[in-house]
Amino acid sequence: MPQLIPTPWLALLIFSWTIFTAIVLPKVLKHSFPDNPTLPSKQNLSKNKWDWSWH
Amino acid sequence: MTLSLFDQFLSPVVCWIPLVAIAIMLPWILFPSPTTRWVNNRNLTSQNWFLGQSTSQIFSPINPGGHKWAILLSSLLIFLTTMNTAGLLPYTFTPTSQLSINMGFAGALWMGIVILGMRTQPTHSLGHLLPEGAPALLTPVLVIIETISLFIRPIALGVRLTANLTAGHLLIQLTSTATLALLTIMPITAIFTGVLLFLLALLEAAVALIQAYVFILLLSLYLQENV
């Protein structure tokens, strides 16, 4: 069976791991998952008015 | 005769370029790196959605300490699904049908998971060698059996993927050869083998996705035990 020929084993192993760590991992790392946007809540509008506390 | 059938799995070299290098390096063009834009294009958004869904699916039963492995396992999932499905195209080489590549990933990751478990919580990891609820008399036998099954895991993981893909590709080659040979001699039988070939191709597409998922799922299960 050709898969059992030992000659390209180490090269294939190292090559696949190299491409995996060099290309696939950075690409997947760059994906970001921001929070879902929430609707503005109408309750918080009237609290905490700006009160110019230093005057 | 059998040797020529297996020839499709020989690591092919064309004009001194090993085709396995092209097969491993080229598919990443299909996966653009995400930009810093707030809304990306459809391609990126769908890949992002798929990545998020699969990662949360796989990692929801694992302790929060094991969530550090999310990047490794989800990118391995992308790697394996892409390699498997790209190999279904005609005249392409499937890197994951090679034992070297699959054993490289399976052995290294399994060993990392087991060593992690043995170092951080040795009692808990060794406790998995005796399943709960087993009769006390069977304890010696069970521990031996569970130890053997523990050490067979990397071999099983690598060989499962290799064997599934190799068998699938062989079947496709056999049925297509049969269809072509029968086309002139017995056309009606050739139609039947053609239908069989079509169904086999569908099966192979499913197997490509499922086997990659099973690889990752099993690794996540081993991680669950050890983290």
**8-state DSSP, A42:** S
**B70-86 and B42-59 helices, crossing angle to 10°:** 120
For residue A5, give the chain B residue with the closest CA: B10
Residue A49 at interface with chain B, using a CB cutoff of 8 Å: no
C-beta atoms of A16 and B101 within 8 A: yes
In a domain, B4, yes or no: no
**A9-19 and B99-120 helices, crossing angle to 10°:** 70
Best mutation target, B36, B40, B41, B98, to test chain A (most A CBs within 10 A):
B98
In a domain, B215, yes or no: yes
Q: How far is CA B44 from the centre of its chain?
A: 23
Q: What is the pLDDT along chain B (227 residues), one digit of tens a residue?
A: 455 777 778 777 778 888 889 999 999 999 999 988 888 899 999 999 999 999 999 999 999 989 999 999 999 999 999 999 999 998 888 999 999 999 999 999 999 999 999 999 999 999 988 888 888 888 899 999 999 999 999 999 999 999 999 999 999 999 999 999 999 888 899 999 999 999 999 999 999 999 999 999 999 999 999 98
Q: Provide the number of structural domains found in chain B.
A: 1
In a domain, B8, yes or no: no
In a domain, B179, yes or no: yes
In a domain, B1, yes or no: no
Q: What is the ipTM of this complex?
A: 0.88
Half-sphere exposure of B168 (CA within 13 A, CB side): 28
Extract the tokens encoding B14.
Answer: 């064309």
The verdict on pTM exceeding 0.80 is yes
Q: In chain B, what are the helix, strand and coil shares in percent, each to the nearest 5?
A: 80, 0, 20
C-beta atoms of B100 and A20 within 8 A: no
In a domain, B3, yes or no: no
In a domain, B191, yes or no: yes
Question: Residue B216 is part of which domain span?
Answer: 14-33+41-226
In a domain, B9, yes or no: no
